[in-house]
């Protein structure tokens, strides 16, 4: 997080701007990041709003620029500007999808999360980050290289944000029901499974100074436990990510990340592993193809190479 030098702030003129700008101010103040404001609209002129907002941010001592653009769709516009600006973070306010709309067609938010090479911060609430709890869920049961790298990114970003806000970082992992792990009764004791998961978290605890009472190892599916733990902690932010799963949609954002986003009642920072980011940057590089078409024609071998052992 501390290495971010340019942040893309996607402004939605239909929503109050204070929510997303407060998050942008906080991040820019802590990281000295430049803020690039973007309105995605091909029809109406929003130059006055952009100019006023830019001037207000500059008057506060922040570095800011602004533009209005359109590249065929909202998510394609955001990705094109992110690439042109070299933005290391995209901030966007989230519009909750209905179950029906998600079953019928991908929303622009989902497409952005799947296709954007940069981390995306989805702003959902006005809960202040200062002094708040930051939740970093990982899959401690998977210790292959892809998972270890992603775990370090998730916990590292959470640690940076907790440090810059005076908050508390909480690490969590869900483990499956012990009886499902093996037929051998030796491996069917819940306490033994929990102890194994805690052991896997020790290195991250030591590196990021996470106290034992801030480590949460619980039995059950991650997609229900993550929102439950976040709610119990009153988390201000949850940092999530995933390595590739079966199918291209899973490879690009992660099954767990998609299923929990709407369930979380807090801001969400979504990260991707480096191999997926590299492929997305190739797809987004000029001359830019249609990203939706490109991703559906992306050879499955890419996803297979990134998929961790045991993923389904």
Which alpha helices (DSSP H) does 166-270 contain, by range? 178-181, 190-208, 222-233, 248-252, 255-261
Q: How far apart are CA 277 and CA 283, in angstroms?
A: 10
Residue in the structure block whose two tokens are 């993923």? 311
CATH of domain 133-276: 3.40.50.12370
pTM above 0.85, yes or no: no
CA–CA gap between residue 309 and residue 266 (Å, rounded)? 31
- Distances 148 to 32, 138, 139, 143, 235 between C-alpha atoms, Å: 29, 9, 9, 6, 24
The per-residue pLDDT for range 263-297, each reduced to its tens digit, is: 889 999 988 766 455 545 665 666 544 555 444 43
Domain 6-123 in CATH 3.40.50.12370: yes
111, containing H or E segment: helix 108-115
Q: What is the pLDDT of residues 159-191, one digit of tens each?
A: 999 999 999 999 999 887 765 555 555 555 677
Banded model confidence at residue 66, pLDDT cuts 50, 70, 90: very high
Considering the chain, tell me which residue range(s) the CATH 3.40.50.12370 domain(s) occupy. 6-123, 133-276
* Average pLDDT of the chain, as a whole number: 80
pLDDT band, very low/low/confident/very high, at 57 (cuts 50, 70, 90): very high
- What was the pLDDT predicted at 40? 96
Does 254 have pLDDT greater than 60?
no
For the chain, where are the E strands, in sequence order? 6-10, 34-40, 64-69, 89-93, 120-123, 133-137, 168-175, 215-219, 237-241, 267-271
What is the rounded average pLDDT of the residues 138-153? 84
* From 42-51, 112-121, 269-278, the region with the lowest mean pLDDT: 269-278
Confidence band, pLDDT 50/70/90 cuts, at residue 260 = confident
Cα separation, 203 vs 210, whole angstroms: 10
Mean pLDDT (whole number) for 14-24: 90
User: Region 110-122: what's the mean pLDDT?
Assistant: 87
**Higher pLDDT pick, 179 / 192:** 192
3-state SS, one letter per residue, for 19-38: HHHHHHHHHHHHHCCEEEEE
């Amino acid at each position: 997080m501390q290495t971010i030098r340019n942040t893309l702030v996607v402004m939605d003129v239909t929503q109050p701007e204070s929510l997303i700008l407060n998050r942008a101010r906080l991040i820019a103040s802590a990281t000295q990041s430049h803020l690039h404001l973007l309105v995605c609209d091909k029809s109406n002129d929003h130059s006055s709003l952009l100019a006023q907002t830019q001037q207000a941010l500059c008057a506060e001592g922040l570095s800011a620029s602004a533009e209005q653009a359109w590249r065929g769709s909202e998510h394609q516009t955001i990705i094109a500007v992110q690439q042109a600006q070299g933005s290391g973070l995209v901030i966007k306010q989230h519009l909750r999808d209905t179950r029906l709309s998600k079953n019928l067609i991908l929303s622009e938010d989902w497409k952005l999360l799947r296709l954007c090479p940069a981390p995306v911060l989805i702003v959902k609430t006005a809960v202040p980050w200062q002094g708040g709890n930051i939740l970093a869920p990982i899959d401690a049961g998977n210790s292959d290289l892809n998972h270890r790298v992603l775990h370090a990114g998730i916990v590292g970003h959470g640690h940076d944000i907790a440090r810059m806000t005076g908050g508390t970082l909480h690490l969590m992992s869900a483990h499956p029901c012990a009886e499902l792990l093996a037929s051998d009764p030796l491996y069917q004791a819940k306490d033994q499974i929990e102890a194994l998961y805690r052991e896997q978290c020790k290195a991250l605890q030591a590196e990021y100074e996470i106290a034992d009472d801030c480590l949460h190892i619980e039995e059950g599916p991650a997609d229900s436990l993550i929102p439950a733990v976040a709610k119990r902690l009153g988390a201000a932010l949850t940092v999530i990510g995933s390595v590739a799963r079966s199918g291209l949609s899973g490879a690009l954002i992660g099954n767990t990340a998609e299923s929990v986003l709407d369930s979380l009642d807090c801001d969400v920072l979504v990260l991707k592993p480096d191999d997926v980011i590299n492929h997305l940057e190739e797809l987004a590089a000029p001359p830019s193809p249609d990203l939706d078409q490109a991703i559906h024609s992306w050879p499955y071998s890419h996803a297979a190479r990134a998929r961790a052992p045991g993923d389904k």
